[in-house]
Amino acid sequence: MCEGGINDGQMKLSIAMVNDSLGLSQQWLEQLHHLADHGKRSATSADLAQVTVMLGEARERLESAVEKLDLADGDNVSVERL
């Protein structure tokens, strides 16, 4: 995959899969944060809230990476069937 370049479509799909996985983890952590908050576990709740924010930032970076792939049109690799 890397010897002659990368397949942008394949890279975008892989990034989307990771982004979806992080999104699910982010939802679970938000639920845990609320449970800890309601259970009066403020230190745990604060840590979980911070991790949720960090995952949100990571997802934004993944979206930025996909946008940069779109901008790099000159670097695309095409496959020609013989």
Establish if 57 belongs to a structural domain.
Answer: yes
The per-residue pLDDT for 75 is 53
The residue with greater pLDDT, 20 or 74, is 20
CA distance 39 to 18: 31
Establish if 26 belongs to a structural domain.
Answer: yes
The per-residue pLDDT for 70 is 83
Establish if 50 belongs to a structural domain.
Answer: yes
**pLDDT, tens digit, 9 for 90 and up, residues 23-35:** 999 999 999 999 9
Establish if 67 belongs to a structural domain.
Answer: yes
Kindly tell me if the per-residue pLDDT of 69 is higher than 60. Answer: yes
Give pTM, 2 decimals. Answer: 0.75
The per-residue pLDDT for 46 is 96
Establish if 4 belongs to a structural domain.
Answer: no
Confidence of residue 74 (pLDDT cuts 50, 70, 90): low
Establish if 27 belongs to a structural domain.
Answer: yes
Q: Find the domain containing 16 and state its range.
A: 9-71
CA dihedral 6, 60, 26, 20 (to 10 degrees): -30
The per-residue pLDDT for 35 is 97
